[in-house]
Amino acid sequence: MSHPEFLKLAVPGVRGLTPYVPGKPIEELERELGLSNSIKLASNENPLGPPASALAAIRASASDVALYPDGSAYQLRSALAEALSLRPEAITLGNGSCDVLVMLAETFLAPGVEAVFSQYAFVLYALVTQAAGATARVAPARPRSDSQPLGHDLSAMRSLVGPATRLVFIANPNNPTGSWLTASELRDFVSSLPQEVIVVVDEAYCEYVEDTDYPDCSRWLAELPNLVVTRTFSKIHALAGLRVGYALSHPALAELLNRVRQPFNVSLPAQRAALASLRDRNHVTRSREVNRAGLRQLAEGLDRLGLTTFPSRGNFLLVACGDQAGHYYEQLLRAGIIVRPVANYGLQDCLRITVGLPEQNEQLLASLSDIMSR
């Protein structure tokens, strides 16, 4: 069939856009290579899975899926507000936290304005900026020799903020590098910016961090009205397949986000599972313990193999593999293990490995040892 040249019809920001590429699904790998019992350590998912209470909530919601969910997600927003000591009006729910990042771009970015983020920050910041037709100002990251290698250089980011800046994106901890910022340095940075510059602190992995100097930025919202904090139920709560995230902000800013938020953007099973998971603190504690031990297991094992790992406060490690990164990735696939290449971040020599269960981590280390010895 003949068709018009759709590319010419697309808005400028979309014409040159490269879609986000997720980690390879297990089903795809097993279909392609005829494998079974593969493991996925590519997408920073919680290997423990959801708490039993969340699974029960999903099953209980099955009889109601013929009905639209509560568009305002009253129960979930109320529970989040109580847990965080905030007003429900300060909370905007998303179909995952990526949905909230898109809302922020739709609300505040357009041709002629700018967004600032770091060189190795989460790739979605660049995607939403480009899609909106705004200009990306990318600050060079800290060097590999730094105490926070490849992390956010706040001085470099501050130097890029100008009259056209509308959004500044900061991931803390950052994906894919695992680096993090302390409370004092991040608070000083946000406080230094003009109030018309909105700072988005992406805390997708915040529940994994145990450092005493790591900030809970939601505590700053009353004093810093230009601050937005985004979080997710995809990581430690293990609900990635249901897509539930949220933003915390000044209520006036949340009201703007709700103008562009799609109706019923969080499904009924997702709302109920998130509510159950939020209440299950034991599962969060257990997930944190498993992650702490897994980070140590992987770091020590990779060090024995002669590979360099970067410090991380997420549930993953960035690993420098030299010119063998692509080879290791492909060979691990053939061994039924999916990790994440990060060449799309400009880190062609690195792989990102999600923390799995102890036996999964050991399988990864054994397979990698075998590959490296060939």
Q: What does the alpha-carbon distance between residue 86 and residue 248 come to, in Å, rounded to a whole number?
A: 9
Q: Do residue 146 and residue 240 come from a single domain?
A: yes
Q: Do residue 357 and residue 311 come from a single domain?
A: yes
**Averaged pLDDT score across all residues of the chain:** 96
For the chain, what percent of residues have pLDDT higher than 70? 99
Q: Do residue 255 and residue 296 come from a single domain?
A: no
Please indicate, yes or no, if residue 302 is contained in any of the structural domains. Answer: yes
Q: Do residue 195 and residue 98 come from a single domain?
A: yes
Q: Dump pLDDT digits (tens) for 142-179.
A: 999 999 999 999 999 999 999 999 999 999 999 999 99
What CATH number did the domain enclosing 114 receive?
3.40.640.10
C-alpha distance from residue 366 to each of 42, 179, 329, 351, 360 (Å): 17, 27, 14, 16, 10
What is the pLDDT averaged over residues 55-81? 96
Q: Do residue 153 and residue 258 come from a single domain?
A: yes
Q: What is the pTM of this model?
A: 0.95
Q: What does the alpha-carbon distance between residue 223 and residue 117 come to, in Å, rounded to a whole number?
A: 23
Residues β-bridged to residue 338: 40
Domain boundary residue, one of 235, 262, 280: 280
Among 14-28, 245-259, 277-291, 360-374, the minimum mean pLDDT is found in 14-28
Q: Do residue 225 and residue 298 come from a single domain?
A: no
Q: Do residue 120 and residue 219 come from a single domain?
A: yes
Nearest to 269 by CA among 244, 234, 238, 232: 244
Do residues 311 and 149 touch, judged by C-beta distance below 8 A?
A: yes
Domain boundary residue, one of 280, 300, 325: 280
Q: Do residue 304 and residue 237 come from a single domain?
A: no
Q: Do residue 340 and residue 228 come from a single domain?
A: no
Confidence of residue 2 (pLDDT cuts 50, 70, 90): low
Q: Is the pLDDT of residue 93 over 90?
A: yes
How many structural domains compose the chain? 2
Q: What does the alpha-carbon distance between residue 84 and residue 66 come to, in Å, rounded to a whole number?
A: 32
Q: Do residue 75 and residue 105 come from a single domain?
A: yes
**For position 1, what pLDDT does the model report?**
58
What is the pLDDT averaged over residues 19-41? 91
- The reply to whether omega before 173 is within 30° of 0 (cis) is yes
Please indicate, yes or no, if residue 142 is contained in any of the structural domains. Answer: yes
Domain hosting residue 340, numbered range: 9-40+282-373
